[in-house]
Chain A
Amino acid sequence: MTESSAAAIGATRDTPATRRRALFWQVVDDYSLILIFIALFAVLSASVQYFFSWDNMVGLLLSVSQIGMVSCTMMFCLASRDFDLSVGSTVAFAGVFCAIVANATGSVAIGVAASLAAGALVGFVNGAVIAKLKINALITTLATMEIVRGLAFISSHGQAVGVSNEAFFTLGSASVLGLPVPVWVTLACFVVFGVLLNKTIYGRNTLAIGGNPDASRLAGVAVDRVRIAIFLIQGVIAALAGIILASRMTSGQPNAGEGFELNVISACVLGGVSLMGGRASISGVIVGVLIMGTVQNAMSLMNIDAFYQYLVRGTILLIAVLVDQLKNRRQAR
């Protein structure tokens, strides 16, 4: 080849065969998770009795609805290279608080509003401390996790707070068009946060901050404001999940949602959200949540001892992270 023809195109084009191979890997990379989920789903449908039935599907969706909602906001949090451990405690506190306020005022609406406001406050404190005081997110939210859990126990005197108002239960149990309300709320979250992430400055800036906070600031991104917003919204959605959970359980329980934060983070990581920030997709998170729920559901149907379910969940998470790592490594070389 002559000098000029090589120079003309920067990097010399490779053969069709290598290009096809590159394209193949591109497709595998992009859709690997969905492919895995479809395969998993097909195998379970064929092999596990009752798995592929309408009732079981609805039950599955209902069981992942809380995790699904909060995964949306956790996705933002991780995408901006932050972390939030306090959501489990917020779920518990919000349920208890909602029950207390609803009982005291006799109005479910006021209880829900107060509880959402409390969640917002927890999130705001998290965000402000992390963004303005520059304290590590892990430490900050570990602290608020303890504090908020403490508040849940103190305000409920360590006991489940029952709600007398019947209206409260409809939140968790009513059905619309054949699907329970919590499932609809979760679907709405997926849509809203998917649009927020991909179509708004807020979402794009979240990813930019996760990719490089310093460069984002110098490019005119209001880094602190975005980070506070991320945590604040997460607080509200965690509170919403808490209220719905309390409604399903017919009482606010101070020990609800233990380990919830880790399940949510697992679902996000399964969904390909990078802990290093800057990479996230709503479709990934949806599949991550569904994989978690499906495996859990199938194990219950197969009567696998609950103790072993921990092992399976952990193993799946490890494999997902390894796959992601391999993917990144191939792209880097």
Chain B
Amino acid sequence: MTDAPRLEFRHIGKSFPGVRALSDVGFSVRAGSVHGLLGENGAGKSTMMKILGGEYIPDEGEVAIDGRAMDFRKAADAIDAGVAVIHQELQYVPELSVMENLLLGRLPTRFGLVDRRRALAWTRERLDALGVDLDPRAKLKALSIGQRQMVEIVKAILRDAKILALDEPTSSLSHRETEVLFRLVRDLRAQGKAMIYISHRLDEIFELCDAATIFRDGRKVADFDTLEGVTRETLVQRMVGRDIGDIWGYRPREHGDIRLSVKNVSGRAVQQPVSFEVKAGEIVGFFGLVGAGRSEIMRVIYGADRRLTGDVAVDGQPVKPSQIRDAIRHGLVLCPEDRKEDGIIGVRSVSENINISARRNHLVAGLFVNDRVEAKTADGYIDRLRIRTPHRRQEIRLLSGGNQQKAVLSRWLAERDLRVLIVDEPTRGIDVGAKNEIYNVLYELAGRGVAVVMISSELPEVLGVSDRVIAMCRGRIVAQFSRDEANEANVLAAALPEGASATPTPAR
């Protein structure tokens, strides 16, 4: 361990107009190790990765590989130096096949034409060797997000990168896909690659990483050469900069009458009819594997997708099928799963994103938008939910994920008569501190009598926040548990396909 580290960041500083994103940050990564990078959203992790990938040029400091200072001017420089950065937002060509994506720019040719057979054989061989189960001919757009991510990682490996950075790779992976990924990461470590691993899931950090660095507000606040003996609480406290105590912060509440009633509802993506009820003040957690039909059924209930059969009622009042606006009128709203695609309107301001729906309730002369009220509403929620933005007129795409989520939540909090709130993966890709804040919003709403439905793929979160847990598998509700009954083992067993043997409570 006397030689230079494989990768070293030396006194990196980077500013953007109005923001100091990184100041004097340095840490190093050994060959053959996985280095965890932790911090809240906006702490500067992604900026650091973009500097590593040659996308940003640091204002101060340098990146060194094997002791040699590098001068990355563009992404290609980093790739040439053996660096592969896999971002949260993947870069692939959706219309092309796995094979073509992997071989982009260097497809084998014969007589000037693409030699498909050779390309196919080569791709199959590589995928098999890595233990990745993918059809080389499948178009990327037909694959799940997890599978696309796999392709991206395989691409980096095939490029023979010696430094690999993974930015939140598991945020949209299923359990099985995560396992495959972990195995791959361990294999790569054994091969001597230096890896940086960014994740908000502390379990993963403990499971995978040899060392870790914590960022906060663009500075390095802690370095751990080893994670042995380090506790979860220590990491969280260093990340957040304060002791947030019990992360769930759950307290029991009184439940009222039935608020949301869903009877025999089905849609194109959820063929079997689904029924359930949620009481006023109750938080019901929906757990299931990716593809279990949770998001799909919620979209049908909200009216975003066509309802084929069944009835939805709020406080006994029927909600018209497939009409979002009628659902909103009944106080039934949804915070969608894919924040960027379905949640935020990126080029519009924070204020616009918050006021887009509720503004209909305070028009001037029934026609004109009331800017004064809207500004007050926006500033109110920015303050209350601690949305980090320079001002309410900032384009929302420039905010971090957690803050975008808070703005989308605010949009519905601003509704005059909110009765049922459905949140789909509300804390995906969000840091610990913001998660805690979002849970508190849910509790507060439930305390006011709102019926809350929360979909989450993170079992601890479902167990920690919900009054009742519903497990879904393959488009059906397979089990329900009260808060006291539910534990990791029985909920997971119920949600796993063919796992019915371990299910204590039958579906109701």
Contacts and interface: CB of A to CB of B under 8 A. Distances in A.
Interface stretch (B269-277, B345-353, B442-450): B345-353
B468 interface: no
Interface string B293-304: 000000000101
Contacts of A207: 348, 352
Interface residues of B, number: 42
B343 A215 contact: yes
Given A199-B369, A201-B360, A217-B324, A208 B345 contact: yes
A271 interface: no
Most buried by B among A3, A11, A204, A221: A11
Contact of A220 (B21, B328, B368): B328
Given A7-B216, A7-B217, A200-B369, A214 B342 contact: yes
A12 B352 contact: no
B405 to A, nearest CB: 13
Interface stretch (A13-21, A170-178, A180-188): A13-21
Nearest to A9: B217
A274 B346 CA distance: 14
A227 interface: no
B367 A200 contact: yes
Contact of A204 (B16, B42, B328, B356): B356
Q: Is the interface of A mostly helix, strand, loop or mixed?
A: helix
A200 to B, nearest CB: 6
B357 A220 contact: yes
Nearest to B327: A220
Given A6-B217, A12-B218, A200-B367, A22 B346 contact: no
Contacts of B352: 204, 207-208
Interface in A52-67: none
Contacts of A331: 17
A208 B395 CA distance: 12
B429 interface: no
A208 B17 contact: no
A246 B20 CA distance: 59
Nearest to B370: A199
Interface residues of A, number: 43
Interface in A1-44: 3-4, 6-7, 9-14, 18-19, 21-22, 25
B336 A218 contact: yes
B69 interface: no
Contacts of A195: 368
A25 B17 contact: yes
Interface in B241-276: 241
A6 to B, nearest CB: 5
B347 A211 contact: yes
Contacts of B207: none
Centre residue among B20, B23, B344 by max chain A CB count within 10 A: B20
B218 A11 contact: yes
A215 B241 contact: no
A21 B348 CA distance: 24
5 contacts: A3-B221, A201-B359, A208-B348, A219-B345, A333-B16
A-B CB proximity, top 7 nearest: A211-B345, A278-B347, A12-B20, A22-B17, A11-B19, A212-B345, A7-B241
